Amino acid sequence: MNDLAFSGSSGIIIMLFYGFLMLFIGFITYWRNRGLHQSNKEFYLGGGNLSVFVLFFTFFATQYSGNTVVGYAPTAYRMGFLWIQSITFFILIVIGYLMFAPRLYALSKKYQFITPSDYIDKRFKSKAVTLLASLLMLYGLGNFLLEQIIAIGHGVSGLTGGTIPYQAAVVFFVTVMIIYGWLGGMRSVAYTDTMQGIALLFGVAILLIGSMIYFGGLPSATEYAATISPEKLGVPDSSGILSWYSMLILVMIGAAIYPHAIQRIFAAKSEKSLKKSLSWMAWMPFVTSGFVFIIGIIGIQAFPGLSEGDSEQLVGMMANHIAMQNPFFYWAMVLLFGGIVAAIISTADSVLLTLSSVISKDIYGRYINKNASDKKQILVGKLTGVAIVIILLLVAWYPPATLYRIFILKFELLIQIAPAFLLGLYWKQLHRHALFTGMLAGTIIASIMAFTGQQPFGIASGLWGLAVNFILCISLSFFLKVPKNEAEMLQKEIS
Average pLDDT, the chain: 84
Query: What is the separation of C-alpha 458 from the centre of its chain, rounded to a whole number of angstroms?
Result: 24
Q: What is the pLDDT of residue 404?
A: 43
Pseudo-torsion of CA 122, 127, 129, 131, nearest 10°? 110
| Whole-number Å distance between alpha carbons of 72 and 299 | 12
Instruction: Please list the alpha-helical segments (H only) found in 308-399.
Output: 308-311, 314-323, 327-357, 374-397
| Whole-number Å distance between alpha carbons of 420 and 181 | 29
Q: What is the pLDDT of residues 266-306, one digit of tens each?
A: 999 888 889 899 899 988 989 888 999 999 999 999 898 88
Task: pLDDT band for 491, please (50, 70, 90 cuts).
Answer: low
Task: pLDDT band for 406, please (50, 70, 90 cuts).
Answer: very low
Task: pLDDT band for 402, please (50, 70, 90 cuts).
Answer: very low
| Whole-number Å distance between alpha carbons of 29 and 473 | 44
Task: pLDDT band for 420, please (50, 70, 90 cuts).
Answer: very high
DSSP 83-122: GGHHHHHHHHHHHHHHTTHHHHHHHHHHHT--SHHHHHHH
Burial tier of 319 (Cβ tally within 10 Å: 0-12, 13-18, 19+): buried
Query: What is the separation of C-alpha 463 from the centre of its chain, rounded to a whole number of angstroms?
Result: 19
Task: pLDDT band for 407, please (50, 70, 90 cuts).
Answer: very low
Task: pLDDT band for 489, please (50, 70, 90 cuts).
Answer: low
Task: pLDDT band for 80, please (50, 70, 90 cuts).
Answer: confident
Please check the confidence at residue 36 and state whether its pLDDT lies above 70.
no
Q: What is the pLDDT of residues 110-165, one digit of tens each?
A: 899 999 999 999 999 899 999 999 999 998 888 888 888 877 777 777 667 677 88
Q: How does 193-218 read in b/e, with b if 16+ C-beta sit within 10 Å?
A: bbbbbebbbebbebbbebbbeebeeb
